[in-house]
Amino acid sequence: MKSVDAHLAEILATVRPLAPLELELEQTLGTTLAEDVSSPVPLPPFDNSAMDGYAVRVEDLSEIPVTLPVIDDVAAGSLELRAVGPGHAVRIMTGAPLPAGADVVVPVEWTDGGTVSVRIDRRAEAGNAIRRAGEDVQTGEIVLKAGTVIGPAQLGIIAGVGRRRVWARPRPRVVVISTGAELVEPGGPLQPGQIWDSNSYTLTAAVREVGAEGFRAGSVGDDPGMLLDRLDTHLMRADAIITSGGVSMGAYEPVKEALSPLGTVRFEKVAMQPGMPQGFGVLGDDQVPIFALPGNPVSSFVSFMLFVRPALDRMRGLPGGMPETVTARTTGPLRSPSGRRSYLRGVLAADGTVSPAHGQGSHQLAALASANALIVVPEDVTEVEAGASVEVVRL
Ligand SMILES: Nc1nc2c(c(=O)[nH]1)N[C@H]1C(S)=C(S)[C@@H](COP(=O)(O)OP(=O)(O)OC[C@H]3O[C@@H](n4cnc5c(N)ncnc54)[C@H](O)[C@@H]3O)O[C@H]1N2
Ligand code: MOO
Ligand SMILES: [Mg+2]
């Protein structure tokens, strides 16, 4: 059987980072910057006030209290400014440009708030409550490096240096298709022998959670032809395809039947549990990667975490690789089939212990829903005692 690492390595050798596009600011959340962004101007662009108060000359504060005439009123965005001469005060709002001649801002709380003249009751040091031009960013300074994932704060500084568009690798568009004649769309009535399609929702959500765009394309039953039609419909706009089900040893394995003849998708057993039956390859002229995951809901979820997520990271221009693990102590004994790496469901606690879930069946939704971690049991281990330390993938 193929090792987990070899399967992941083959996937990572196949997928490619998406080509950068010049994106409008609003479209960039979750994308990966493909250029260094620098500032064309100093930030702030001009000396301005950090507080609502009065701009004055510090030498006029030598005798406190002192009353000064208020010669101007400067709000943020004001253009024409009168200089502050000796013995003058200018009322100033936070963010407003500092008038020439002033070298201190006295917060209004330290005064009587006068508008014609102001009594200042407390001395402020020179430079108080002044934001100097360029103290945040210098002209030409790189504020974000290529390869940075753009979140809200990164959008802030891109907008803050005046960029309307940036070059970034877009979020991969991933189409999720379920297979299985037994599947019914949640909300619909169940006939005998039917189940609700959970994989479509789990996998589309997992795609979105890792920063890609997920499109749930529904189920195609057990009909290979329907699968091929559904793939045709979505292939041109997909950067990747995920299917679940129909890849094992059964008589009706629509994914295997539909894709094996194409010769570009391989189906094999990987030395892991859950997630043993795996299909991976590329489709169409654009070599769109397809992840043909096993049908058992826990198998497809674990397969997503191990194989799809790292691939999507790479497509986003990020490193992407085997999920990180943390060390924990298992509170209960663990069992794992020899020769397969197990990913058992468990609950990792703040005290560094991990409690294995009661149900470890790869179809058991409840155990997966209550887990926040996958306990890794290596291929050559079949028993782990309670209290032993284990490696754990956080979910
Ligand atoms: N004789 C053998 N039988 C099986 C083997 C094997 O090696 N020899 N492998 C087992 C393992 S391991 C797995 S995993 C499953 C995977 O099989 P498939 O990928 O063909 O999945 P299906 O047969 O289509 O479905 C399996 C199971 O999962 C349920 N399912 C499928 N799709 C969904 C969905 N969208 N939402 C919820 N549940 C889904 C389906 O009803 C089946 O119960 O094969 C084992 N068999
Ligand atoms: O891959 Mo299966 O998930 O071992 O049940
Ligand atoms: Mg099957």
Per-residue pLDDT of the chain (395 residues; tens, 9 = 90+): 999 999 999 999 999 999 999 999 999 999 999 999 999 999 999 999 999 999 999 999 999 999 999 999 999 998 888 999 999 999 999 999 999 999 999 999 999 999 999 999 999 999 999 999 999 999 999 999 999 999 999 999 999 999 999 999 999 999 999 999 999 999 999 999 999 999 999 999 999 999 999 999 999 999 999 999 999 999 999 999 999 999 998 888 999 999 999 999 999 999 999 999 999 999 999 999 999 999 999 999 999 999 999 999 999 999 999 999 999 999 999 999 999 999 999 999 999 999 999 999 999 999 999 999 999 999 999 999 999 999 999 99
Alpha-carbon span 99 to 72, nearest angstrom: 10
Judge whether 81 and 89 are in contact, CB under 8 Å: no
Amino acid at 224: P
Q: What's the CATH class of domain 21-43+135-169?
A: alpha beta
Query: Of 269, 293, 276, which Cα lies nearest the Cα of 342?
Result: 276
Helix (H) / strand (E) element for 10: namely: helix 4-14
Ligand nearest to the CA of 268: 1
Judge whether 50 and 141 are in contact, CB under 8 Å: no
**CATH of the domain spanning 4-18+171-315, picked from 3.40.50.300, 3.30.750.200, 3.90.1150.10, 3.40.980.10:** 3.40.980.10
> Which of 248, 276, 363 to probe ligand 1 with, by most ligand atoms within 8 A of CB?
248
Please provide the CATH number assigned to the domain covering 326-394.
2.40.340.10
Judge whether 175 and 241 are in contact, CB under 8 Å: yes
The verdict on the CB of residue 276 being under 6 Å from ligand 2 is yes
For residue 299, how far is its CA from the centre of ligand 2 (angstroms)?
Answer: 5
Helix (H) / strand (E) element for 329: namely: strand 326-330
**Dihedrals phi, psi of 125, to nearest 5 degrees:** -80, 155
Alpha-carbon span 169 to 167, nearest angstrom: 7
Residues whose beta carbons lie less than 5 angstroms from ion ligand 3? 248, 250
Q: What's the CATH class of domain 48-131?
A: mainly beta
Q: Are strands 326-330 and 389-394 parallel, antiparallel or unpaired?
A: antiparallel
Alpha-carbon span 214 to 312, nearest angstrom: 11
Query: Of 145, 172, 167, which Cα lies nearest the Cα of 314?
Result: 172
The verdict on the CB of residue 253 being under 6 Å from ligand 1 is yes
For residue 227, how far is its CA from the centre of ligand 3 (angstroms)?
Answer: 15
Domain ranges of the chain: 4-18+171-315, 21-43+135-169, 48-131, 326-394
Question: Beta-carbon neighbour count of residue 290 at 10 Å?
Answer: 26
The verdict on the CB of residue 200 being under 6 Å from ligand 2 is no
For residue 246, how far is its CA from the centre of ligand 1 (angstroms)?
Answer: 7
State the closest ligand 1 atom to the C-alpha of 248, by its place in the atom list counted from 1: 20
State the closest ligand 1 atom to the C-alpha of 299, by its place in the atom list counted from 1: 14
The verdict on the CB of residue 315 being under 6 Å from ligand 2 is no
Inter-CA distances, 129 with 79, 90, 118, 122, Å: 20, 14, 18, 14
For residue 388, how far is its CA from the centre of ligand 2 (angstroms)?
Answer: 25
The verdict on the CB of residue 369 being under 6 Å from ligand 1 is no
